[in-house]
Amino acid sequence: MPYSHSVGTALVAALAAWLIIENGFGRAVLGRAVGLGIMSHLILDLVTHGHDIVLWPGLPSPKLGLGLYEAAPFAAFIIEFAYGIFCWRVYRGGRGLLALIVIGNLANLSFLSPAIPGPEYYFAGLPLVVVTVVFVQIVVTLVLIGVLARRV
């Protein structure tokens, strides 16, 4: 995952998103929120991922990550879940958005621990299917967040 999970990629993506949304679309607050969201994803990855996050794509070392998913998957779950609730509180989200955060996090429990059975059993040996499922999950979640986060 050197392209999607590198410090440099996250920095460039955060800066690009911020500048494009703020300057291109005139949405300063949204641009900053998206940029911060991208950076917070990197920070969560540095805490939860194993040693697989590089500084820049193509740079083989150093590899960063505290490995919480492997060492203490439930702790990783709690950290990510708590962060979602924290963001919901900071941005004063509604009940629908809170429900999405809770349901979305609970739906990922089986991905964090082999002790919890889930659909990933069917993905064994099919890495492209795993990546596709995660991608679809991200897109659906972003769309639902966009719908549920709108102020009436």
Q: pLDDT band at residue 51, thresholds of 50, 70 and 90? A: confident
> Where does residue 18 fall: left (phi above 0), alpha (psi -120 to 50 degrees), or beta otherwise?
alpha
Q: Determine the Cα–Cα distance for residues 82 and 71; give it in Å rounded to an integer.
A: 19
Query: Both 66 and 86 in a single domain?
Result: no
Interior angle at CA 80, CA 78 and CA 85, nearest 5: 90
Q: Encode pLDDT of 71-109 as tens digits.
A: 888 898 999 999 999 988 988 888 998 999 999 889 888
Query: Both 48 and 79 in a single domain?
Result: no
Q: 130 lies in which domain range?
A: 72-152
Query: Both 66 and 79 in a single domain?
Result: no
Instruction: Let me know: does 49 contact 1? Beta carbons within 8 Å.
Output: no
Query: Both 113 and 141 in a single domain?
Result: yes
Query: Both 61 and 81 in a single domain?
Result: no
Count of domains forming the chain: 2
Query: Both 123 and 108 in a single domain?
Result: yes
Query: Both 118 and 53 in a single domain?
Result: no
Count of Cβ atoms closer than 10 Å to residue 115 Cβ: 9
Q: Encode pLDDT of 5-50 as tens digits.
A: 789 999 999 999 999 999 998 988 888 888 888 899 899 989 988 8
Can you give the pTM of this predicted structure?
0.75
- Both tokens assigned to 118: 């889930």
Query: Both 9 and 82 in a single domain?
Result: no
Task: Give the percent of the chain with pLDDT over 90.
Answer: 28
- Both tokens assigned to 28: 């300063």
Q: What pLDDT is stored for residue 1 in this prediction?
A: 54
